[in-house]
Amino acid sequence: MNPADPAASLAAQDAGSPPPADLQLPAPARLALTAGWNLAESLALPVGAYIVGDRLGGQGAGMAAATVVTWLTAAARKMITGTVPGLLMISGLVLTLQTVLVVATGSVLLFLLQFPVANLALCILFARTAPTGRPLVAQLAAEVVALRQSGSHPSLDRFFRGTTWLWAGIFAASTIGLAVLLVTEPATVFLLLSTVVTVAGVVVGTFLSVLWFVRVMRRSGLRVCFGQA
């Protein structure tokens, strides 16, 4: 059956066979497992290693432990699956940059500088892939939630490029905000506000990305299908 033939598609629907969905997601349970596994690799394991290292040898040891665990996880992934997830690679690169700044010097200023520098690195990383055929948001959607497309959809391609630019802009704004706070606030206040700025940026970016995705789906008439458990 030719999927481009309207008569064939109508016959399939009359026979009780639903038209193919434009986007496929795993069954909800598998989706939660896939996303949870990726987040555990990229966030939970480094945080756990940092806590252990910090208690045993201080902050520098904690940062080093988190970085080593992340790259060991990436190496294991490469050996087992042949690929390294983008989220894990981002975590490794950012942690490496932060660890160098923390371990290389005892300067409080350079320690605090890791926060705006990390956001700047993320801004560059997202911006670098936005105009390409593989924008980072599309890669993360495929890896973290196992989103699959049944074909090429120009509206989705524009969405992924646009949201990748959006996240680059959010990290750029966070970089500027943190740089201003770094030179205007004492260290204790800066550490508190840096957390607020980071969390706020992630929440705003996620909210805008979801709204944008829903709008694209509605305007383009695209369909999402969940797989069988």
Residue pLDDT, tens place only, 123-165 = 999 999 999 888 999 888 888 777 777 666 788 889 999 999 9
**How many structural domains comprise the chain?**
1
Query: Cβ distance 136 to 86 under 8 Å?
Result: yes
Residue 7 lies in a domain: no
Burial of 182 (0-12, 13-18, 19+ CB in 10 A): middle
- Is the pLDDT reported for residue 4 higher than 50? no
Q: Where residue 189 falls among pLDDT bands split at 50, 70, 90?
A: confident
> Does 215 reside within a domain?
yes
The answer to whether residue 177 is domain-embedded is yes
Domain presence at residue 1: no
User: For residue 35, what are the domain limits?
Assistant: 19-226
Burial of 123 per CB tally in 10 Å (0-12, 13-18, 19+): buried
Section 48-76 average pLDDT: 89
12 pLDDT higher than 70:
no
Statement: residue 229 has pLDDT above 60: no
The whole-number pLDDT of residue 59 equals 78
Q: Would you say residue 179 lies in a domain?
A: yes
Which residues are within 8 A (CB) of 168 and not within 5 positions of it... i.e. 6 or more apart? 123, 124, 126, 127, 130
